[in-house]
Homo-oligomer: A and B are copies of this chain.
Amino acid sequence: MEQHKIPQATAKRLPLYYRYLNNLQHQGKTRVSSQELSDAVKVDSATIRRDFSYFGALGKKGYGYNVEYLLHFFRETLDQDELTEVALIGVGNLGTAFLKYNFLKNNNTKIVMAFDRDANKVGTKIGGVPVYHIDDLEEKIGDIHVAILTIPASEAETMTERLVENGIEGILNFTPARITVPSHVRVHHIDLAVELQALVYFLKHYPLDNEKGNKKE
């Protein structure tokens, strides 16, 4: 609850850095420069150095960064040791895919329960995660504070109210609905149809160069 100084843009890149540093460590690399990192994660090297600098001087001039040290540092900063439990609401196409995916790899989050209103799904386990009836939400949710929302858009608003009443403070919303929440609740929207449409729009209206080279975003 401390660091107010880290820009949101930086915070969003931290998990990315963290994951790549993990890869490096598994490969046995002990040092890395901002330029190498830049090539790998496709973020400008100056931006990477700036990002790291918000946490103090983590590197050594003329040497780069020590992978081990950086990882150790980020593990603390990103609370990697502390597991955050997540509930998934709506075991449909998308929800099922998430349940089968192991978010725990390089990650400190775990889906520990799922809810649906379809009696055929209730009682089963998908990817090791138990599926409960949505009517039992109040009973089962415990002190989980993060939810993934993968129900039809028409259900989103009502469900959100219910989730918030039951202590949810963070929602990853895959529904196209733009849900309304009290100000202490944080919602991140991932709108796949919009992403696809935006990509197509950029392709048509923002022509890129025609030569070799790299571009991000």
Which A residues lie at the B interface, using CB under 8 A? Answer: 1-4, 6, 8, 11-12, 14-16, 19, 40-42, 78-79, 84, 86, 93-94, 96-98, 100-101, 103, 105-109, 145-146, 148, 169-170, 172, 176, 178, 180-217
Contact = CB atoms under 8 A, between A and B. Distances in A.
Contact of A93 (B96, B184, B191): B96
B188 A190 contact: no
B199 A185 contact: no
Copies in the complex: 2
Contacts of A40: 178
B184 A208 contact: yes
Contacts of A172: 195-196, 199
A97 B96 CA distance: 8
A196 B11 contact: no
B202 A186 contact: yes
Given A16-B191, A106-B193, A186 B203 contact: yes
